[in-house]
Amino acid sequence: MANIKGYNMPDELYYHEEHSWARVEDGKVTVGMDDMFQKEAGDIVFVDLPDEEDEVEQNEVCGKIQSRKWIGKLCAPVSGEIVEINEDLEDDTSFINEDPYGKGWILVIEPSDLESELGNLMHGDALIPFVDQEIKRTEEEKAKA
């Protein structure tokens, strides 16, 4: 587990710039929202998920996640077919806050072009400048408010 500036960002995952993460297992991709997203969002109160069998394109908004502060977007980190959604989130959205990389997973995609698309995501040390940039952006937004 990598801790970057106080955010838990596991090394084995791939990250999208809109804060979704991707875990590749057995040819499928499990997707959720990263620790930075859940900490900045605060308590998640509602999740609007796509349907199983929906086709998604990489970077496409395929769901919404609402906290008490704002509504965030779930962007597909890879293209493919949604083969499973985490129905437990319909009853308890707090899993995204409590365990974003475990019980708080959101959906599973059967990828259509995994090899080429993983290269578009951040992984490992590439996260460090991204986290720094996001912290700076968040501080600037708070200063304007």
- Smallest CA-to-CA distance from 38 within 106, 115, 90, 108 is with 106
pLDDT in tens, 12-44: 999 999 999 999 999 999 999 999 999 999 999
pTM over 0.75: yes
pLDDT of residue 69: 87
Structural domain containing residue 119: 16-130
For residue 115, is it within any domain? yes
| Start-end of H helices in 1-145 | 35-41, 88-91, 95-98, 114-118, 127-144
With respect to residue 1, please indicate whether it lies within any of the assigned structural domains.
no
Q: How confident is the model at residue 144 (pLDDT cuts 50, 70, 90)?
A: confident
**Domain membership flag for residue 100:** yes
d(CA 131, CA 9): 10
What phi and psi values does residue 119 have, to the nearest 5 degrees? -65, -15
Query: What backbone phi and psi angles, to 5 degrees, belong to 60?
Result: -75, 140
Residue 82 lies in a domain: yes
Written as one letter, the residue type at 25 is E
Q: How many CB atoms lie within 10 A of CB 42?
A: 12
pLDDT value, residue 125: 87
Q: Give a yes or no: residue 33 inside a domain.
A: yes
7 belongs to a structural domain: no
Whether pLDDT at 128 is above 60? yes
Return the pLDDT at 1: 54
For the chain, the helix, strand and coil percentages under 3-state DSSP, each to the nearest 5? 30, 35, 40
Plot region of 76 (φ>0 → left; ψ -120 to 50 → alpha; else → beta): beta
Instruction: Specify the number of domains making up the chain.
Output: 1
CATH of the domain at 119: 2.40.50.100
Cα separation, 122 vs 25, in Å, equals 17
pLDDT digits (tens, 9 = 90+) for 78-126: 999 999 999 999 999 999 999 999 999 999 999 999 999 999 999 988 8
Give a yes or no: residue 22 inside a domain.
Answer: yes
Report yes or no on 9 lying in a domain: no
Question: In this predicted structure, what is the pLDDT of residue 2?
Answer: 82
Contacts of 128 by beta carbon, 8 Å cutoff, 6+ apart? 4
